[in-house]
Amino acid sequence: EDVSAKFVSQKISRTRWRPLPAAALQSPDLFATGSWDNEDNRISIWSAGDLGNAGLNGEYHGEPHLLCDIQHNGDVMDMQFLDQERIVVASSTGTVTIFRHHQNNQTLSASHRWEKAHYHVDQDTSCGGAACTGVVCNNPEIVTVGEDGRINLFRADQKDAVRTIDNADSSTLHAVTFLRTTEILTVNSIGQLKIWDLRQQRNEPSQIFSLAGDRVPLHCVDRHPNQQHIVATGGQDGMLSIWDIRQGTMPVSLLNAHEAEMWEVHFHPSDPDHLFTCSEDGSLWHWDTSTNVSEKPSFLHQGGRSTAYLSHSTINQSVVSAWLSNDPTKDRMEITNLIPHQTLSVNSLDVLGPCLVYGTDAEAIYVNRQLFA
């Protein structure tokens, strides 16, 4: 197995690779985690393991080790690196904090805090905080969404919000992503996607999409890194939905996935034919739509892992994108559960280069450095 595990005695709600500099060729080496449901929640920075220790076959040894950590008030609901040194963290208390990682002496400090960026009644009452459920960064801009249906646009160097859309949604907003620098996409607890144009002063979405009928809460969203009209979402029913925001108001395809809530969905940032999802049911799935799946030798069959083939009745290869096609005869998609022995909820995952990191309610973090070995 290429997976190294580390037991951390706290439930992990978020795992994020530190982004690599644009020209970097090396594998990602540092990642951050946030915890939840513990008496003392923490933001931690980890070294991914000893890369200098590659064995004869190039395999890595050494489990992740803690470089530094800092206490966090409330559950960590979401987190994202703003740049190489700063991490933006969303709290269940409604506060949004920027933590700075000082690499010279391996410490973490809170460099900026927006108290109660999200709140139910008013910002001043002691119990008024509403969970900040999602954060997305496009340095220096930071967008947050929350249980209060509010959207905030912050800038890393400014004390007050640049823009707040107070009643953006009457239900809980669960996640947010940038479509382009001036547009964001939110998902909510009644199965809707909404696009917001930040150049417009109007406080209404420019487009609304929704899952037909059921109003299934959506928990997570990711945008295809190269084709900004392709969006993937996951929600309470464990289904993976693929949307083409150029057309229609419903998903292009709905794929049966997990048996419980899907917590995160991520396209691989540099190889978006690959998509990863994780769930409350203890599974983490790798969806592979790259061409000729059947012909290439697959690392996925080793170790008796379960691999399901999906005939491409919903999805197949096309020049446009594997994720949007509808000719069932062309090809098929390979789906692999990367965690054969399911345990407690897999709350978070992140992929960068050949590396995957994920965190669980079993109080462990896992790093796989050989995703495409």
pLDDT, one tens digit per residue, over 279-338 is 999 999 999 988 654 444 333 333 333 344 443 333 333 335 678 865 433 456 788 899
User: Can you read off the two tokens belonging to residue 121?
Assistant: 């009644």
- pLDDT of 165 > 90? The answer is yes
| 14 contacts 88 by C-beta, under 8 angstroms | no
Q: Where are the domains of the chain?
A: 3-290+320-368
pTM of the model: 0.88
Enclosing H/E stretch for 112: strand 107-114
SS3 state at 279:
strand
User: Can you read off the two tokens belonging to residue 100?
Assistant: 């700075």
* H-state helical runs in the chain: none
Architecture of the domain whose range is 3-290+320-368:
7 Propeller (2.130)
pLDDT, one tens digit per residue, over 215-247 is 899 999 999 999 999 999 999 999 999 999 998
Rounded to whole angstroms, the Cα distance separating 282 from 360 reads 8
What is residue 206's DSSP assignment?
A: S
User: Can you read off the two tokens belonging to residue 345?
Assistant: 């909820």
